[in-house]
């Protein structure tokens, strides 16, 4: 992940264990679903899952435009 930042390409990581990504120095981190499906929610009906994935995706996109000064975790229930 840091290699993308080094190359000047803003990047964001969606992961279920944000604290691990933080310790590794990943700058933009979005807290995802679960280890087995970072962008999924298999336990809810498909329509809800699609909406959830779209929300995560939009959040991830928005973080790319947000300035961060070090590892920062973004979650869906946060208001920026």
Q: Is 73 in the site for another protein (CB under 8 A)?
A: no
**DSSP 8-state secondary structure symbol assigned to residue 29:** E
Out of 47, 70, 78, 79, point to the residue binding another protein (CB under 8 A): 70
Q: Are 10 and 61 in contact (CB under 8 A)?
A: no
Shortest gap between Cβ of 28 and another protein (angstroms)? 7
Q: Is 74 in the site for another protein (CB under 8 A)?
A: no
Out of 44, 48, 64, 76, point to the residue binding another protein (CB under 8 A): 64
Q: Show the binding pattern over residues 12-51: x = contacts another protein (CB under 8 A), - = does not.
A: xxxxxx-xxx-xxx-xx--xxxxxxxxxx-x-------x-
Strand partners, 72: 28
Closest to 18 (Cα-Cα) out of 5, 10, 9, 27 = 27
Strand partners, 30: 14, 74
């Amino acid at each position: 992940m840091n290699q993308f930042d080094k190359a000047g390409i803003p990047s964001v990581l969606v992961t279920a264990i944000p604290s691990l990504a933080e310790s590794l120095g990943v700058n933009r981190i979005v807290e995802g679903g679960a280890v087995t499906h970072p962008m999924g929610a298999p336990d809810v009906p498909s329509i809800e899952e699609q909406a959830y994935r779209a929300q995560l995706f939009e959040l991830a996109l928005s973080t790319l435009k947000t300035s961060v000064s070090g590892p920062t975790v973004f979650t869906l229930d946060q208001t920026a």
